[in-house]
Homo-oligomer: A and B are copies of this chain.
Amino acid sequence: MKARITVTLKNGVLDPQGRAIANALHSLGFGGVEDVRQGKLIEVELKAADETSAKTELDAMCRQLLANPVIENYRVELL
């Protein structure tokens, strides 16, 4: 079973990486760029009895390791 997890910063949390990318894009001449936010895309291949147990495990992986619940949101998609 394959899953795609997206981890993004919560609104209002400062994103220095995104700011650096936006500045670099401006210096390359992309003046229309107003804001950039960078997150993580994690693709996981796992063995699971069924979709429900897979989702439960993936959720636990996010809470324990892949996302910082204080500043990040995560979304789990089974593919």
Contacts and interface: CB of A to CB of B under 8 A. Distances in A.
Contact of A37 (B7, B34, B43): B43
A45 B65 contact: no
Interface string A20-50: 0100110010101111111111111111100
A6 B38 CA distance: 10
29 contacts: A6-B41, A8-B41, A8-B43, A18-B42, A21-B42, A21-B66, A25-B65, A28-B61, A28-B65, A30-B46, A30-B61, A32-B46, A32-B57, A33-B45, A33-B46, A33-B61, A34-B46, A34-B47, A36-B44, A37-B43, A38-B42, A38-B43, A39-B40, A39-B41, A39-B42, A39-B43, A40-B40, A40-B41, A41-B41
